[in-house]
Structure 1
Amino acid sequence: MRVAVVGATGNAGTSVLRALKKKDEVDSILGIARRMPDMDAEPYVGCEWESIDVGAAIHEEDALDRLREAFQGVDTVIHLAWLIQPNDERDLLRRVNVHGTAHVAQAAVEAGVKHLIVASSVAAYSPDSEQAVRDEEWPTEGIQTSHYSVDKAAQERVLDDFSAAYPNITVTRIRPALIFQAPAASEIQRYFLGTHVPVQALDKMTPPVLPLPKGLSGVQAVHADDIGEAYALAAVKRAGGAFNICADDILTPQDLADIVGQGRYVHLPAGLVRAAIAGSHKTNMVAMDAGWIDMALSVPMMDNSRAKTELGWHPTHSAADALRELIAAMIKGEGGDSVPLRPRDRDYSTVPGMRTTVGEGASEETPSGDEDVSLRGDAPQGEFGRGASGISDRVTKDLIELYLSDHLTGATAGTERIERMEKDFVDTPVYPQISQVADKIRRERALLQQIIHDLGFKQKPYRQAAAWVGEHVGRLKLNNRVLSRSPMTLVLEAELMRSAVVGKLGGWQVLHDNAEDLGLDPNIFASLEEDVWEQVRALDEVHEYARGRAFRDDVPTFSPEGSEGDERHEE
């Protein structure tokens, strides 16, 4: 059978790919996502790939056309695509999450697909004042103060209507608990905690008392491997209906205190916790909004017996073990080989396109172009250089140290700028190009940091701090707009980033020409030089899109034509 997975690069999608590959019944897998993963890395290798936007910045007919074409010859479609952030962009979230589900379902039936599996959630369920264990018959009207829950309930109504209109299509709804795995650690931190919460401090110090909202009776979770297996079993068994997927154990407040803290917890008034989260979200200190607290205090606990009976599914991880794995990975900053799963820290990053180890003893004959450079300090031959004492006397060390520090300063400013573009232009058709350039620039900066460290040089952090401040101050220009984005902003940002990307070419050329004296592998930098032009081409596409719209009144810049989200339609 041929299976298409929409949203195949995130937490659930990556796990579903792993599980599908183990099923003899599955002959081929089509992965669909806006942003492509590293297709040479597991579990993405061996799959076919299509970049398709299901609703963020695409007209409905265009989305249907592209999906319909992709689904030709597909037996089962597994729809996982879901946008959690930005919380405050409700129109954008609804376009992707609710309308996007409708687009996938309609395209599937028009392409002749006979089985549709959709990722619902425990969040779809209506409030349960008792928070008792409920089966799949519990109502799915959602929690009205949680945007995530509201959209999950709306998605259920889309599936109700679809099932009524097309009773010959098997529709499966998977309703998982919280999904945990190590490769998703940094993604989960970004989406829910944010970058300001010092999760890594848990490695040195755990909270003596864990504060929890009063009324929280328990939390359910499932390991990503188990949720992937549930989707794969539903696909090969053609099982229809709804399935609750969760580990057998429920995490009580005491369990949470034992795992996260020192075994002690205190219940705080739910209103106080909610207000604290709301305030922290408004000031960008915490990524999640207060709706997540409302949902945690309201949803029922799920009974997973139907999945066991009808799918033959059984969890292989406890919720407690899944949470322990997640926290340990969060502390380290682990991640995966797709943009959504990107790691937080340098030590868990890789540079796509190269897998050879760089360091003492590296050979010029080392192949490049089809492997990844591991940046992990504990990798075999994990050092990138021989240290300052091992650098050839032909190199003027203080000058090369200053030169690399200056390039790191530029890389810091460039990373800040491209990450802001990635956040600000998520509702444009060129978001995939921006996001994938951002991912490469982040990884290249991590590589440069590692090289400076391993050569025994200093990074001169005050220079990077100045670059960070300068870039943030530069954001204050208004482009003749105060309360909304100027359509001209994308044009200017693309031009600045294109110049910065070309500028870094010189740095890779210098390292390439001096690699032997520095104890580095020149092939690394030859490949990075080539990739500069790939990034320039991507930014050219961004600029072409922006300049064709920014200076016209008849077409929108930031969202599909006619959408309420475009500034041209605001008063």
Structure 2
Amino acid sequence: MKVAVVGASGNVGTAVLNHLVDASEVTGVVGIARRMPDRDVAPYSSAEWHLVDVGAEARDDAAEEAIIERLVAAFDGVDAVVHLAWLIQPNHERDLLRRTNVEGTARVARAVVRAGVGHLVCASSWAVYSPAPDLTPRDEAWARDGVRSSHYSVDKAAQERVLDDLEAEYPELVVTRMRTGLVLTADAGASIARYFIGPWVPRRLLAPGALPILPTPTGLRAQVVHADDAGRAYLEVLRRRAGGGFNLSTGETLLGEDLARILDHGRTVPVPAGVARSLLHYAWRSRLFASDPGFLDMATTLPVMDVTRARRELEWEPRHDADATVRDLLDGMVRRAGGASVPLRPHDRSFEGVPGLRPALRGRAPAATGEPGGPLDRELLRTYLDDHLSGSTAGVARIERMARAYADTPIGPDLRLLAGEIGHGRDELMTLMDELGLPTRPHRQGLAWVAERLGRLKTNGRVTHQSPLTVLLELELMRSAVAGQAGLWQTMVEIAGDLGMGRDRFAELAERSIAFQTRLEELHARVRGDALRASGERPLKLA
């Protein structure tokens, strides 16, 4: 049995890989992620890897088709696909989350069908269920409309509707939904703290016994499962080709007083859920806390899951109880424990709730070629790309302003087209940094934006009206800017192999930038003849 795992570098993905690589019946594992893990470290070293972002923005049908075709190629020859890719942050960017979580699932589903894969196992969640009025355990038949005030829950419900449609259209395909509680482990401690808490809560407060008293929202309840136990359940589903929904948790329900017992000395202060929600809302809006109030809504309204089906049909029993699972996570959070993938990176204080702040690239040695070389220095690469991003920010601002300022002149249409295409080049650079897990420095882009606007104050010899020199100088500056952009993409062609990426992508971007230079040179030729002439008050009176 050959298995492909989409989202194989995250918390659950790593746990699934751990069990797949040790299973005698598994003959091959394909890992798919948008950011490459360290392939010299187990369990990632046992997989064949493909870089695919299932949530990438497709600007047209051709781009959409390209994403699906990359998935189809990765699924070639596999017997089952495990789909785990899911975005939790940045949760202020709702469109991005839905594109990855719901549309990404639809892309995987289409690729599974096209590749002829017979079994799709999808990571669903406790969050898919509709609210329940009490703590009576509910089985897999409970309503699946989610909690409407939680984007996470709404997307989980929408994801399952994608699977419903898939099953209806392709009844021969085995589709499995793994409805887990909170999947916890020490090795995800740093990651879970980044995703759900953020940078401002001292980690030492999470150590058992550190808090003298714990405020707990009324109605709080939680179900958890250890990542290792979840990984075993996924393996059992694959072995048995078991379809349908499976609830997965330790079978216990943790209430506020249980969490207080684990976190402190068992002393709690009940806080009305409405008050707690208001406080959380403002903390989230101000970026002081990573979790939005929708997570609290889930934790106070979702039903308790009945896990009988998993125990009966998979012969699965959790090896970690709820207390031990939570304590394991807390230990990992305090230690900032992690793993050898970008999502699980340890000791990183980047806040993923703020757009643009992303993890650090793990350097990787180039393939043995007999030529001098060594691992890429991630800080040098980050600085290099970030410097180009700052320059690109200023360049895009300049070309967009030129397109507006000269809209009614003969060169206006050309400038408008160039502005859109050069802006797309900047988007490609930001996407690249995101794929590599390289944090940007937003303040530098802000300074570049300000510097470009200050540059407009230069009069070029005229105060009361536009100087004939302005358009000439601006076109020359833009020629320099796109020449720098071409150099960037040419450099990326050279190091693409070290990053586990294709050279063709960067070669195409380099060719585009060179073409920009040619088009700007043509515009420059159209205006330079009159710009310095005494009668040329406005050099754009062109034939």
Tell me the TM-score normalized by structure 2.
0.70
- Over 3 Å counting, the alpha-carbon distance change for 1:494 and 1:78 in structure 2 is farther
Q: For residue 82 of structure 1, what is the aligned residue in structure 2? A: 86
Q: Would you say how many aligned residue pairs link Structure 1 and Structure 2?
A: 434
CA RMSD of aligned residues (A): 4.2
2:112 aligned counterpart, secondary structure: helix
Is the 2:147–2:297 contact (alpha carbons within 8 Å) kept by the matching residues of 1? yes
Q: Determine the C-alpha separation between the residues in 1 that align with 2:168 and 2:384.
A: 51
**Deviations for 1:398-443, whole angstroms, at most 9, x for unmatched residues?**
xxxxxxxxxx9x999889989999xxx9x9565664146555x89x
Q: Does 1:127 align with 2:124?
A: no
Q: For residue 323 of structure 1, what is the aligned residue in structure 2? A: 326
- Over 3 Å counting, the alpha-carbon distance change for 1:480 and 1:221 in structure 2 is farther
How far off is 1:495 after superposition? 7.0
Q: For residue 69 of structure 1, what is the aligned residue in structure 2? A: 73
How far off is 1:22 after superposition? 2.0
2:162 aligned counterpart, secondary structure: helix
How far off is 1:320 after superposition? 1.2
1:164 aligned counterpart, secondary structure: helix
Q: Determine the C-alpha separation between the residues in 2 that align with 1:11 and 1:204.
A: 23
Q: Determine the C-alpha separation between the residues in 2 that align with 1:41 and 1:369.
A: 21
State which of 314, 317, 327 in structure 2 corresponds to 1:311. 314
Q: Spell out the pairing of 1:247-266 with structure 2 (5 A cutoff).
A: 247-266=250-269
How far off is 1:544 after superposition? 7.4
Q: Determine the C-alpha separation between the residues in 1 that align with 2:186 and 2:482.
A: 34
Gaps of 5+ in 1: 355-367, 374-407, 443-467, 482-487, 503-529, 553-571
Q: For residue 24 of structure 2, what is the aligned residue in structure 1? A: 24
Q: Determine the C-alpha separation between the residues in 1 that align with 2:110 and 2:13.
A: 21
1:297 aligned counterpart, secondary structure: helix
How far off is 1:32 after superposition? 0.5
Amino acid at match of 2:144: T
**Deviations for 1:106-136, whole angstroms, at most 9, x for unmatched residues?**
1111111111111110000001121321110
Q: Determine the C-alpha separation between the residues in 2 that align with 1:12 and 1:27.
A: 20
Q: Determine the C-alpha separation between the residues in 1 that align with 2:511 and 2:215.
A: 51
2:120 aligned counterpart, secondary structure: strand
Q: Determine the C-alpha separation between the residues in 1 that align with 2:389 and 2:266.
A: 38
Bigger shift: residues 310-319 or 48-57: 48-57
How far off is 1:183 after superposition? 1.5
State which of 279, 294, 299 in structure 2 corresponds to 1:296. 299
Is the 1:415–1:438 contact (alpha carbons within 8 Å) kept by the matching residues of 2? no
**Deviations for 1:43-92, whole angstroms, at most 9, x for unmatched residues?**
10121011112132243212221112221211001111111112122222
State which of 176, 185, 200 in structure 2 corresponds to 1:181. 185
2:254 aligned counterpart, secondary structure: coil
Q: Determine the C-alpha separation between the residues in 2 that align with 1:70 and 1:351.
A: 23
Q: Does 1:155 align with 2:159?
A: yes
1:477 aligned counterpart, secondary structure: helix
Q: For residue 172 of structure 1, what is the aligned residue in structure 2? A: 176
2:344 aligned counterpart, secondary structure: coil
Q: Determine the C-alpha separation between the residues in 1 that align with 2:5 and 2:273.
A: 38
How far off is 1:248 after superposition? 2.6
Q: For residue 273 of structure 2, what is the aligned residue in structure 1? A: 270
- Over 3 Å counting, the alpha-carbon distance change for 1:199 and 1:548 in structure 2 is farther
Amino acid at match of 1:477: V
Amino acid at match of 1:138: W
Is the 1:433–1:538 contact (alpha carbons within 8 Å) kept by the matching residues of 2? no
Q: Determine the C-alpha separation between the residues in 2 that align with 1:324 and 1:74.
A: 37
Q: Determine the C-alpha separation between the residues in 2 that align with 1:338 and 1:115.
A: 26
2:107 aligned counterpart, secondary structure: helix
- Over 3 Å counting, the alpha-carbon distance change for 1:17 and 1:369 in structure 2 is farther
How far off is 1:334 after superposition? 1.1
State which of 200, 223, 228 in structure 2 corresponds to 1:225. 228
State which of 432, 447, 458 in structure 2 corresponds to 1:474. 447
Q: For residue 11 of structure 1, what is the aligned residue in structure 2? A: 11
Is the 1:82–1:96 contact (alpha carbons within 8 Å) kept by the matching residues of 2? yes
Q: For residue 48 of structure 2, what is the aligned residue in structure 1? A: 48
Q: For residue 137 of structure 1, what is the aligned residue in structure 2? A: 141
Q: Determine the C-alpha separation between the residues in 1 that align with 2:265 and 2:385.
A: 37
Amino acid at match of 2:306: D
Q: Determine the C-alpha separation between the residues in 2 that align with 1:201 and 1:298.
A: 27
- Over 3 Å counting, the alpha-carbon distance change for 1:369 and 1:6 in structure 2 is farther
Tell me which stretches of 4 or more aligned residues in structure 1 moved more than 2 Å. 55-60, 200-205, 349-354, 368-373, 410-421, 427-433, 435-439, 468-481, 491-496, 530-535, 537-549
Q: Determine the C-alpha separation between the residues in 1 that align with 2:89 and 2:212.
A: 31
2:102 aligned counterpart, secondary structure: helix
2:301 aligned counterpart, secondary structure: coil
How far off is 1:140 after superposition? 0.5
How far off is 1:99 after superposition? 1.1
1:309 aligned counterpart, secondary structure: helix
Q: Does 1:434 align with 2:433?
A: yes
2:117 aligned counterpart, secondary structure: coil
Q: Does 1:338 align with 2:338?
A: no
Q: Spell out the pairing of 1:355-504 with structure 2 (5 A cutoff).
A: 433-435=432-434, 437-438=436-437, 474=447, 477=450
Q: Determine the C-alpha separation between the residues in 2 that align with 1:412 and 1:62.
A: 28
Q: Determine the C-alpha separation between the residues in 1 that align with 2:482 and 2:194.
A: 24
Amino acid at match of 2:320: H
Q: Determine the C-alpha separation between the residues in 1 that align with 2:202 and 2:390.
A: 21
Is the 2:118–2:173 contact (alpha carbons within 8 Å) kept by the matching residues of 1? yes
Is the 2:281–2:293 contact (alpha carbons within 8 Å) kept by the matching residues of 1? yes
Is the 2:389–2:429 contact (alpha carbons within 8 Å) kept by the matching residues of 1? no
- Over 3 Å counting, the alpha-carbon distance change for 1:538 and 1:2 in structure 2 is closer
How far off is 1:318 after superposition? 1.0
Q: Determine the C-alpha separation between the residues in 1 that align with 2:35 and 2:191.
A: 15
Q: Determine the C-alpha separation between the residues in 2 that align with 1:304 and 1:280.
A: 35
- Over 3 Å counting, the alpha-carbon distance change for 1:212 and 1:353 in structure 2 is same
Q: Determine the C-alpha separation between the residues in 2 that align with 1:55 and 1:14.
A: 20
Q: For residue 38 of structure 1, what is the aligned residue in structure 2? A: 38
1:14 aligned counterpart, secondary structure: helix
Is the 2:364–2:498 contact (alpha carbons within 8 Å) kept by the matching residues of 1? no
Tell me the TM-score normalized by structure 1.
0.67
Q: Determine the C-alpha separation between the residues in 2 that align with 1:492 and 1:313.
A: 60
Is the 1:434–1:542 contact (alpha carbons within 8 Å) kept by the matching residues of 2? no
Is the 1:208–1:262 contact (alpha carbons within 8 Å) kept by the matching residues of 2? yes
Q: For residue 199 of structure 1, what is the aligned residue in structure 2? A: 203
State which of 81, 96, 99 in structure 2 corresponds to 1:95. 99
